[in-house]
Amino acid sequence: MDRSSIILPLSTHTETANPQQTNTNDGISWWFKLITKGVGVLGGCVAMVTGVLTCMAFSTSCLVAGILQICVGFSAVVFEGPCCCPFLDFINEIGKFSDARPHWQKAAFYTLTSIIPIVMCFSLSSVFGCGLVFVCGVLYGIMTMGKKADREEMRQKVRTEDVEMKDTLIANMEHNIELQVPFEPK
């Protein structure tokens, strides 16, 4: 057996072949993306551990919810941190697939899949377990909204809205429109 076939890869850096599929110029800072991935990996690990605790309940719905919670946690770890699973041969393809997805798809996937175990078995272990995965989905939802406008764009928008409001007020004053409370008969 060749020694090089035994060595595991130290890094599973995933790059997509098509640069148009990556969201490198989406205006989101690198640290926010890193925090989101970290929350996803941490949430996935917590979801797997608390999924085992949820499976220990004496209810069939809690058993199914615990199994789903373990699956949600594993998928979050695999999608967000492929370097956590170097023993899987196909992890690089999964990482490339996950990195090529738009933020809104990740947000929808994490929020919807984390709500299902909570609805099936509402307990502290299911809420804490799927809570961080849900937070990861919310952070991806924030990324979907994109970069906030710069200060000058916001000022310009406010000036435009103020001009329209002033025009309306002046037009109402020219037509002598008075606001009256209607008379209520007794």
The whole-number pLDDT of residue 157 equals 73
Spatial neighbors of 44 by CB under 8 A, at least 6 apart, are: 72, 73, 74, 75, 76, 77, 78, 80, 81, 132, 133
Enclosing domain of residue 66: 29-145
What confidence score (pLDDT) does residue 149 get?
A: 72
Give DSSP secondary structure letters for 85-121.
-TT-TTHHHHHHHHHHS-HHHHHHHHHHHHHHHHHHS
Shared domain for 33 and 111, answered yes or no, is yes
45 and 124 fall within a common domain: yes
pLDDT at residue 27, as a whole number: 75
The reported pLDDT for the residue numbered 167 is 67
| C-alpha–C-alpha distance, residues 36 and 141, integer Å | 11
- Residue 72 inside a domain? The answer is yes
Asked if 65 contacts 122 with a C-beta cutoff of 8 angstroms, the reply is no
Q: How far apart are CA 109 and CA 92, in angstroms?
A: 20
**pLDDT in the model for residue 6:** 41
Nearest Cα neighbor of 103 from 2, 21, 10, 14 is: 21
Residues 108 and 63 in one domain: yes
Residues of the chain with pLDDT under 70: 1-25, 158-183, 185-186
Q: Is residue 15 part of a domain?
A: no
Instruction: Identify whether 186 is part of a domain.
Output: no
Task: Determine the pLDDT at residue 5.
Answer: 42
**CB–CB of 39/139 below 8 Å?**
yes
Same domain? For 40 and 114 the reply is yes
Q: At what angle do helices 103-120 and 124-145 cross, to 10 degrees?
A: 160
Asked, for residue 6, whether it belongs to a domain, the answer is: no
Question: Are the C-beta atoms of residues 150 and 120 closer than 8 Å to each other?
Answer: no
Is the separation of the CB atoms in 65 and 120 below 8 Å? yes
**Are residue 158 and residue 120 in the same domain, yes or no?**
no
pLDDT of res. 21: 43
